[in-house]
Structure 1
Amino acid sequence: MTTYYYAAASQHFLLEEEPFAEVINERTRHYQEQEKEKDFWLIRQPAFLEAPELAAVKAKCPQPAAAVVSTNATFITWLKLRLEYVATGEFEAPSATIPDPLASLATTAS
């Protein structure tokens, strides 16, 4: 199993109220300059929030939610400092309750 770290918030807050695109573009450029492989993903309506162990996080996060998921804990800490009003935490996957750490409920919505 792999440990994944996340920063979650409402989609509206994360993608419209915060300078999210600027922050992610800055980080992407930094990774390219360092020749580092990307280790973070933006997920709209992340399925991992449906796991019973994350019910308290989901309850505090206005829906529909969005999350940045990474295998790099330092990046999520950096993101939390930049964006401030996001919920952060970690989970391990794949597991019985989180089979795909990057799955989105948005792809299955009609």
Structure 2
Amino acid sequence: MTLIPLKKPITYHFIIGSDNFLLVEEPLEEVLRERVQHFGRIESYTNFWVIQSPKFLDSVEFNDFKRKLLEPDPSKNFTAIISTNERFICWLKLRLQNVATGSFLGPTKDIPSPLSSTRALLEPN
């Protein structure tokens, strides 16, 4: 996926939860599939991204937030659903409940690539 650099930072909203909660315990795939179908019916575009180990958490802005997420298990990995649509993130929060929410501006000096991950991508064999 090629991202076009933006000149002006925009606000990204997100929910975040442990990999285990979002990818194993919750029917996240089903919830997102339903939402994509909804966007298709209303002829709207899909503007959300699922990011494992989101790099924005490494920003100074999120030091306290990340520390709270890691209590009591500092070895947890996280997945975020990021969108520029705040209403969509609020809707997801109501559906998933056991997640944290937040927002940030990007790209900025501290968060140059809002949708990047700290997890290395696996190359196909």
1:101 aligns with 2:114: yes
Match of 1:91 among 104, 108, 116: 104
Match of 2:42 among 34, 52, 56: 34
Residue 60 of structure 1, CA deviation: 2.4
1:78 aligns with 2:91: yes
1:49 aligns with 2:57: yes
Give unmatched runs, 5+ long, in structure 2.
Answer: 1-8, 71-75
Look up the match of 2:5.
none
AA aligned opposite 1:10: S
Secondary structure (helix, strand or coil) at the match of 1:25 reads helix
Q: Which moved more, 1:58-67 or 1:37-46?
A: 58-67
What is the TM-score of this pair, normalised by structure 2? 0.83
What fraction of aligned residue pairs are identical, expressed as a percent?
Answer: 43
Residue 72 of structure 1, CA deviation: 0.2
Look up the match of 2:21.
13
What is the rounded CA distance, in whole Å, between the counterparts of 1:99 and 1:108 in structure 2? Answer: 19
Aligned CA RMSD, in angstroms, stands at 1.4
What is the rounded CA distance, in whole Å, between the counterparts of 2:40 and 2:60 in structure 1? Answer: 37
AA aligned opposite 2:49: W
Residue 108 of structure 1, CA deviation: 6.5
What is the TM-score of this pair, normalised by structure 1? 0.93
For the Cα contact (< 8 Å) 1:40–1:71, is it kept in 2? yes
Give unmatched runs, 5+ long, in structure 1.
Answer: none
4+ runs deviating over 3 angstroms: none
May I ask how many residue pairs the two structures share in their alignment? 109
AA aligned opposite 1:55: N
What is the rounded CA distance, in whole Å, between the counterparts of 2:68 and 2:26 in structure 1? Answer: 18
